[in-house]
Amino acid sequence: MTPLLAACGGGGSKHKTGANSAEGVKSALPAFAASTSVAADIPSVPGPDGAMTDPAFLTYPANPVATVTGVPGKGGSYTAVTPLWGTVPPADNSFYAAMNKALGITMEMKPADGNNYNTIIPTMTAAKKLPDWIQLPTWWNSNFNVGELAASQFADLTPHLAGDNIKKYPNLAAIPTGAWQAGIWGDKLYGIPSFSTGFSIAGTTFYRRDLLEARGITADQVKTLDDLMNLGKELTDEKSGTWAFDDVWTYLFPFFGLPNKWKLADGKLVHKYEMPEFLEALDWHYKLATAGYLHPDAIAGNNADANTRFYAGKTLIQGGGPGVWNLADHLSGTAATPGFRRGSFDFLTAKAGATPSLFMGSSTNMMSYLNAKLKPEQIEELLAVANYLAAPYGSAEYTMVNFGVEGTHYTRVNGVPTANDEGKKDVQAQTYPFLATASSVISNPGADQVTKDIAAFQAANVKYLYKPLFWNMNISMPQNIATVDTAQAVEDTVKDCYHGKKKVSDVQAAISTWKSNGGDRLKQWMTDNVLSKYGTGQ
Amino acid sequence: MSTARSERGKSTTGEDAAGRRTTGRNGTVRLNWRTRLRRDRTLLLMTVPAVVLLLVFNYAPLFGLVTAFQYYDPLVGVRDSEWAGLAQFQQLFHDPLFWGALKNTLWLSLVQLVLFFPVPIALALLLNTVLSERLRNFIQSVVYLPHFFSWVLAITIFQQMLGGAGILNHFLRQNDMAPWDITTNPHTFALLVTSQAIWKEAGWGIIVFLAALAAISTELYEAAAADGAGRWRRMWHITLPGLRGVIVLMLVLRLGNALTVGFEQFLIQREAVGHESADVLDTFSFYYGIATGNYSFGAAAGLFKSVISLLLIWGANKLAHAFGEDGLYRR
């Protein structure tokens, strides 16, 4: 079989694969021009390797200042697809209508289920039925094969944005350079970043701070993975329908000393599947599930209701992306249980007394792309729209995008924009902001505790972040290599293992099949085409 | 759902076939095609939309099968994709997950054949004995209803009732009894999905059998009753032989669809029991073909499935003819 697979070598693609070259990146990157935004109430804290926490705001400007003059659009009609983890707002709602008016275009928003987004998008790209504007979360870059997609189906933004060209769009120019770098494929700029951050983590392990503290459990008592496991026994009470844990694997496995995918040992690439720590991590999670600490609905794969379980106190500890922790979450949580407070455990270690560490994610997790079929003037129109969407915290545009129209979607309560019923239904933080935003800030008007909690969590952990191998290098693979990189069969078995259905040895078997069916070839490809040509990116 | 739809579609042809058989026995003269065309033009016109749908949605996509022999890259298109010959099939046949999915499919098909297939027939016979028309309509509506639920809803109901945190297990735990793992047990998954299928589709499945029952002449029953035949004798000698043609037809179709056991039902419950137990050929193609961008591999799995299905339906039809039944068409 190996010669057969080798025969397909470069796959069917004709585009350049590999990573970006240093000169290419340099000439494609836009210039940076900081915006004069409001001063943060809790300024950002720097960490190692350029990491820094997001600035936090506790007050909202009474008179938001406009950063864009006039209406950015010229009346064009477009469609946009974005992922949404939550309830999809009604299609023709008053917020969309108000946004269309403010943007001067007709934008048909089509939010799609975030939980299945990675399987929805490939069917669209295969049919070449991409919308005009699409959001592709960066953690799925290899699932979507964004490198190849960019070359064939996305608009090249380099001529519009590279260097000083971006100055036409001052809000976009204020997005940090690292985030733009994550949008470069094959030395050309394609992506528009949202929520770029210096504190980029895939996610964290959350807990019900209100309920745990009521039992005398605080986050600083939980330092190691053993401590966490012990909570399972203490908190699970099946009789009352309470389980300590929902799914935690995705954001917990790195604390066993694992990289996201690759690490370098003696100048050679090692995949996390080959590391003994990977088996330790699996073993821990297998025990968690088989000990009965994991909610049965989580085992049944019902992820869509994970937050409902958390809000209702049916689960007390859950993994989640950083985007979960916000005002909307606070509102939903307190609606279910008054006094609801989400907290995050600090970075954990496998051994007591060790220093925790976690790899930084790319400077942004959210990247949007424009369709290659758009005409240059349409691209300019949408970039002007992106410039509007990327207005800084507290500006008039930011207020519109995040809260809607005063009176219709929100009212000022003690000076703080507060969503009314229509606003709660229609104004979703996961629609327009997934097309473009200014760099991340922590702000939850009306829920200062949330803002303080997040800022404190980031400040306590930023010092443990490190720059991993191939950081911010957009690696573009031929399709057959990308398929191996996705490792669907292994990931499926891993999921079965942390749900207690497959033993660690079954995962080992799946890994060895994967290695012989392409995993070794993937490593060779990465060594030849990325490591030896472009270096480590560190 | 697709099976139910095709069953319904075939039921009308079945009746047509049965209807034409009686005229056939009276001895028709073979007319030339032009005369027949004129005679049947209204009927032919009525089938045109169905034929067009079939051409557009079933025949035209057949050209896509060429991707099974390529390293198909959707971004460069069918024409420019690299030729692979039989490499995708070789990889497929070396993949233990593929054989696992095939095994699951066949096993589920067998279980459903034994446990599901007789249920609509039994239900139809039972309903036929209910004399009160109002009661009959009421029961019929109640058992039809789940067919119109989506699988998401049906499975959610099952999980809320029987799941690990569902009503049943909550009750058991509160009464200090061990919970019963029904929805996440890979070993009994076949029984779970079959009971879901029965709950959702059995009511819908009785339509075709009720139609066949209605076609049996009441004179036969009256004559038999006059001759002193009891209820069971009438069922054995009149009802069941009257249904035989339709039962065989449905069986042939079922066998032809043996490799199509459903999609959403397994997609939704895949995580609950693990991919090795829940993957059937269709979900295999989806996860290891489409979802990972490995389209040619998925197409190869799909083509393999189609070829086997064709052989199955051909074989089952032959068998039906051998037993003197019409099968899919009259010989």
Minimum Cα–Cα distance from B268: chain A residue:
A301
Cβ-defined contact of A11 to B71 (cutoff 8 Å): yes
The string of DSSP codes covering A392-446 is: PTTSHHHHHHHH-SBTTTEEEETTEEEE-HHHHHH--TTSGGGT--PSP-EE-TT
Chain B residues touching A300 at Cβ < 8 A: 159, 163-164, 183-184, 269, 271-272
**Strand A366-370 relative to strand A191-194, pairing:** antiparallel
Task: Give yes or no for B151 touching A (CB within 8 A).
Answer: no
Cβ-defined contact of A499 to B72 (cutoff 8 Å): no
Task: Give yes or no for B271 touching A (CB within 8 A).
Answer: yes
Closest listed residue to residue A81, CA positions, set A8, A136, A146 = A136
Shortest CA gap A84–chain B (Å): 19
- Asked if residue A185 and residue A215 are part of one domain, the reply reads no
Cβ-defined contact of B287 to A488 (cutoff 8 Å): yes
- Asked if residue A368 and residue A327 are part of one domain, the reply reads no
Cβ-defined contact of A300 to B275 (cutoff 8 Å): no
HSE at residue B86, side-chain half, CA atoms within 13 A, is: 4
The CATH architecture annotation of domain B88-322 reads Orthogonal Bundle (1.10)
**Cα separation, A468 vs A370, whole angstroms:** 29
- Asked if residue A495 and residue A353 are part of one domain, the reply reads yes
Shortest CA gap A105–chain B (Å): 29
DSSP collapsed to 3 states, B114-136: HHCCHHHHHHHHHHHHCCCHHHH
Closest listed residue to residue A262, CA positions, set A254, A271, A273 = A271
Task: Give yes or no for B152 touching A (CB within 8 A).
Answer: no
Chain A residues touching B70 at Cβ < 8 A: 12
Cβ-defined contact of A300 to B74 (cutoff 8 Å): no
Shortest CA gap A31–chain B (Å): 32
Helix (H) or strand (E) holding A318: strand A315-320
pLDDT of residue A424: 85
- Asked if residue A484 and residue A439 are part of one domain, the reply reads no
Task: Give yes or no for B40 touching A (CB within 8 A).
Answer: no
Which of A447, A467, A490 is a domain's end point? A447
pLDDT of residue B11: 40
Give the bridge partners for A57, in sequence order. Answer: A443
Angle at B272 between CA B268 and CA B275, to 5 degrees: 80
> CA quadruple A446, A449, A452, A458: dihedral positive or negative?
negative
Shortest CA gap B109–chain A (Å): 23
DSSP collapsed to 3 states, A280-301: HHHHHHHHHHHCCCECHHHHCC
Minimum Cα–Cα distance from A141: chain B residue:
B292
**Cα separation, A109 vs A135, whole angstroms:** 12
- Asked if residue A486 and residue A435 are part of one domain, the reply reads no
Contacts (Cβ under 8 Å, ≥6 apart) of A523: A269, A271
CA distances from A90 to A96, A99, A426 (A): 10, 14, 7
Give the bridge partners for A413, in sequence order. Answer: A416
For the entire predicted model, the pTM comes to 0.81
Chain A residues touching B83 at Cβ < 8 A: none
DSSP B146: G
Give the bridge partners for A113, in sequence order. Answer: A84
Give the bridge partners for A370, in sequence order. Answer: A133
Minimum Cα–Cα distance from A296: chain B residue:
B164
**Cα separation, A12 vs B82, whole angstroms:** 5
Residue A356 phi/psi, 5° resolution?
A: -70, 155
CA distances from B60 to A126, A128, B54 (A): 17, 18, 9
- Asked if residue A163 and residue A40 are part of one domain, the reply reads yes
**Mean pLDDT per 10-residue segment, chain A (538 residues):** 35 60 88 81 89 92 90 95 88 93 95 88 84 94 86 94 94 93 93 94 95 94 94 93 95 94 93 96 96 93 89 96 89 93 95 92 92 96 97 93 93 89 85 94 91 96 93 83 89 94 94 92 94 85
Cβ-defined contact of B75 to A125 (cutoff 8 Å): yes
- Asked if residue A116 and residue A40 are part of one domain, the reply reads yes
Angle at B43 between CA B39 and CA B49, to 5 degrees: 140
Q: How many domains would you assign to chain A? A: 2
Query: Residue A493 has which token pair?
Result: 């078995």
The string of DSSP codes covering A14-71 is: -S--B---HHHHHHHSBP------PPPSB---B-GGG-BPPPEESS--SSPPP-S-S-
Shortest CA gap B58–chain A (Å): 17
The per-type count for chain A, helices as H runs and strands as E runs, is 25, 19
User: Which range marks the domain in which residue A220 is found?
Assistant: 204-359+477-534
* 3-state DSSP assignment of residue A508: helix
Q: Which residue has the tokens 């950002």?
A: A44
Contacts (Cβ under 8 Å, ≥6 apart) of A357: A347, A464, A465, A466
Chain A residues touching B183 at Cβ < 8 A: 300
Helix (H) or strand (E) holding B181: none
pLDDT of residue A9: 35
Nearest to A297 among B75, B97, B164 (CB): B164
Chain B residues touching A489 at Cβ < 8 A: 97, 288
Give the bridge partners for A194, in sequence order. Answer: A366
Residue A207 phi/psi, 5° resolution?
A: -145, 160
Encode pLDDT of B140-151 as tens digits: 899 999 999 999
CA distances from A515 to A273, A489, A503, B53, B116 (A): 9, 11, 19, 45, 41
pLDDT of residue A37: 66
Closest listed residue to residue A184, CA positions, set A47, A409, A372, A369 = A369
Per the CB < 8 A criterion, the answer to whether A365 and A138 are in contact is yes
- Asked if residue A322 and residue A240 are part of one domain, the reply reads yes
Query: Residue B33 has which token pair?
Result: 């095609």
Shortest CA gap B233–chain A (Å): 49
**Cα separation, A171 vs A202, whole angstroms:** 26
Chain B residues touching A482 at Cβ < 8 A: 293
Task: Give yes or no for B272 touching A (CB within 8 A).
Answer: yes
Cβ-defined contact of B165 to A488 (cutoff 8 Å): no
Contacts (Cβ under 8 Å, ≥6 apart) of A387: A68, A72, A169, A170, A171, A172, A436
- Asked if residue A136 and residue A51 are part of one domain, the reply reads yes
CATH code, domain with A528 = 3.40.190.10
Chain B residues touching A125 at Cβ < 8 A: 74-75
Task: Give yes or no for B94 touching A (CB within 8 A).
Answer: yes
| Inside any domain, residue A63 | yes
| Inside any domain, residue A306 | yes
Cβ-defined contact of A1 to B91 (cutoff 8 Å): yes
- Asked if residue A61 and residue A170 are part of one domain, the reply reads yes
pLDDT of residue A327: 87
Cβ-defined contact of B274 to A143 (cutoff 8 Å): no
**Cα separation, A248 vs B10, whole angstroms:** 49
Shortest CA gap A55–chain B (Å): 38
Domain residues of chain B, as ranges?
88-322
Q: B73, B196, B285: which to substitute to probe chain A, counting the most A Cβ within 10 Å?
A: B73
Chain A residues touching B184 at Cβ < 8 A: 296, 299-300, 499, 501
- Asked if residue A228 and residue A331 are part of one domain, the reply reads yes
Cβ-defined contact of B74 to A513 (cutoff 8 Å): no
Q: A236, A309, A484, A488: which to substitute to probe chain B, counting the most B Cβ within 10 Å?
A: A488
Chain B residues touching A126 at Cβ < 8 A: 74, 290, 295
- Asked if residue A212 and residue A329 are part of one domain, the reply reads yes
Which of A432, A447, A462 is a domain's end point? A447
Chain B residues touching A479 at Cβ < 8 A: 71, 73, 293-294
Cβ-count burial A165-193 (b if 16+ within 10 Å, e if not): bbeebbbbbbbbebbbbbbbbbbbbbbbb
Burial class (CB in 10 A: 0-12, 13-18, 19+), B155: buried
Q: Which residues in chain B land under pLDDT 50?
A: 1-26
Shortest CA gap A333–chain B (Å): 21
Residue A69 phi/psi, 5° resolution?
A: -95, 135
